[in-house]
Amino acid sequence: MKKLNILILLFIIISLFAVMPVSAQGGDDGVSDDEVNAIARDLFCPVCENTPLDVCETQACKQWRELIRLKLSEGQTEAEIKQYFVDNYGARVLDEPPKEGFNLLVYFVPPAIILVGIIVLFRAFKEWQGDDQEEYEDSSEGSIEPKRASADDDYMAQFEEELKKKK
Amino acid sequence: MTEENTPENSVRKGMPLWIQITVWSVMIALLVVVFVGLQRAREGNVQAGAETANFDFTMPLFEGYDYEGAQEISLTDLRGKIVVLNFWATWCVPCQQEADELEEAWQHYKPDGEVIFVGVDYVDTEPEALAYLAEYGITYPNGPDMGTKISQAFRIQGVPETYFLDRNGVVQHVQLGPFSSTQQIIGIVDSLR
């Protein structure tokens, strides 16, 4: 009976642990993985191109994440940590290049190209519209036949005249 | 008669000159950027015969890994000496394989002071780097590649990579990948003396 009571007690304790809320694991420093990943997802390790730091599984990226954890535990802000990575590994570690110098091209060239494209298309549509209108205006009054019809008439008249001459 | 496509009409209907100039300028500029980028990518790492005067650098050194008491090292200050420039990283397994050989070779040349070994730590974190240097007993000057500027200047393709510079700062030999033995390193350095 005593053994049964101990078993029941153990079962209750284990059950209590099982229903405890689960949160992202943190180290002894009190910094959770979520906090580390919130910064890591905006960084890219130069060794693993195109893979955000928070999902990269290489040894280098693991070390970087540990460094973020260390700096967070030291009380550094997100901006300070990102600046540390830029100073040490270059601006290419950022997911968005800083808006300065040559990088400005990234921000201005694509919108400029789209703008120019819109202007070109707008003008082209306007010209096509203008051409259609001119064709109708040039055709005979009251007729809805386009200009091609009048050109065909000229050709037919010339063709008939040539036939008459042959006869 | 149909309306002819006269030059007057073309000018009237065409894009304004300033737009044409702008569009062509942007297109040419983009092509130049792409061309330069591709050309650079195709070049690969710096080859033997390259003058390092074109991409001189000053590198801070890890504490305890100074050069003649200075906490930074400049490539121009090393003119007159044979330089063995080794790119490495703690996460790089082949780097670990050659760590002992590099230190042995450094100890071989250290007394006469004519050859200097310099370690460039690529994309690493300082705590791990210091632990690595201590673990492998490395004593020659070592520092981080701040902003990956040195590795970009040498256009390294990976780690480890080692560049042997003669007394004039000209690259004489490039070792891609780890060394197989201490004698291999000594053989290359001796050929430059």
* Domain presence at residue B162: yes
Domain count, chain A: 2
Give yes or no for B19 touching A (CB within 8 A): yes
* Domain presence at residue B2: no
Q: Are B98 and B179 in contact (CB under 8 A)?
A: yes
- Give residue B92's pLDDT: 94
Cβ contacts of B3 on chain A, cutoff 8 Å: 134, 138
**Domain span at residue A127?**
103-161
For B150, name the nearest residue in chain A, comparing CA atoms only: A89
B46: distance to nearest CA of chain A, Å?
Answer: 19
For an interface test with B, the pick among A56, A64, A88 (most B C-beta atoms closer than 10 Å) comes out as A88
pLDDT of B110 above 80: yes
Contact B3 A138 (CB under 8 A): yes
Residue listed under structure tokens 């710096």: B46
Residue B122 and residue B83 share a domain:
yes
Q: Which of A46, A112, A120 sits opposite B26 (nearest CB)?
A: A112
Contact A147 B123 (CB under 8 A): no
State the ipTM, two decimals: 0.72
* Domain presence at residue B61: yes
Residues near A67 by beta carbon (within 8 Å), at least 6 away in sequence = B125, B127
Give yes or no for A124 touching B (CB within 8 A): no
Q: What percent of chain A has pLDDT over 90?
A: 32
B18: distance to nearest CA of chain A, Å?
Answer: 12
User: Residue A149's pLDDT band (boundaries 50, 70, 90)?
Assistant: low
For B60, name the nearest residue in chain A, comparing CA atoms only: A88
**Prediction pTM value:** 0.70
- For residue range B149-163, what is the model confidence (pLDDT) as tens digits? 999 999 999 999 999
Residue A110 and residue A125 share a domain:
yes
Residue A114 and residue A82 share a domain:
no
* Domain presence at residue A166: no
Nearest CA to B168 out of B25, B66, B51, B55 is that of B51
* Domain presence at residue A49: yes
Domain count, chain B: 2
For B59, name the nearest residue in chain A, comparing CA atoms only: A88
Cβ atoms within 10 A of the Cβ of A132, count?
Answer: 11
Cα–Cα dist B159/B153, whole Å: 15
* Domain presence at residue B58: yes
- For residue range B21-67, what is the model confidence (pLDDT) as tens digits? 888 888 898 899 889 888 877 888 999 999 988 878 999 999 999 99
- For residue range A93-127, what is the model confidence (pLDDT) as tens digits? 999 888 888 888 888 888 888 988 898 889 888 88
Helix axes A78-89, A33-40, angle to 10 degrees: 50
Contact A66 B125 (CB under 8 A): yes
Q: Which residues pair with B87 in a beta bridge?
A: B120, B161
User: Residue A164's pLDDT band (boundaries 50, 70, 90)?
Assistant: confident
**Domain span at residue B59?**
52-190
Cα–Cα dist B146/B153, whole Å: 12
Give yes or no for B25 touching A (CB within 8 A): no
Residue B89 and residue B12 share a domain:
no
Give yes or no for B144 touching A (CB within 8 A): yes
Cα–Cα dist A61/A42, whole Å: 13
Residue A47 and residue A73 share a domain:
yes
pLDDT of A145 above 60: no
- Give residue B17's pLDDT: 85
* Domain presence at residue B137: yes
* Domain presence at residue B186: yes
Q: Which of B22, B144, B152 sits opposite A88 (nearest CB)?
A: B144
pLDDT of A155 above 50: yes
Contact B15 A123 (CB under 8 A): yes
Residue A131 and residue A116 share a domain:
yes
pLDDT of B128 above 70: yes
* Domain presence at residue A112: yes
* Domain presence at residue B1: no
Residue A138 and residue A92 share a domain:
no
| Size of the A and B interface in Cβ pairs below 8 Å | 55
pLDDT of A22 above 80: no
* 3-class DSSP string for A44-90: ECCCCCCCECCCCCCHHHHHHHHHHHHHHHCCCCHHHHHHHHHHHHC
| Residues across chain B | 193
Contact B26 A113 (CB under 8 A): yes
Q: Are B165 and B139 in contact (CB under 8 A)?
A: no
Give yes or no for A157 touching B (CB within 8 A): no
The CATH number of whichever domain residue A59 belongs to comes to: 1.10.8.640
* Domain presence at residue A10: no
Residue A111 and residue A53 share a domain:
no
Residue A39 and residue A89 share a domain:
yes
Please, which residues 72-131 of chain B have a Cβ atom closer than 8 Å to chain A?
A: 89-91, 123-125, 127-128
Cα–Cα dist B4/B79, whole Å: 73
For the sheet containing B142-144, what is the strand order?
B142-144, B115-121, B82-88, B161-165, B171-176
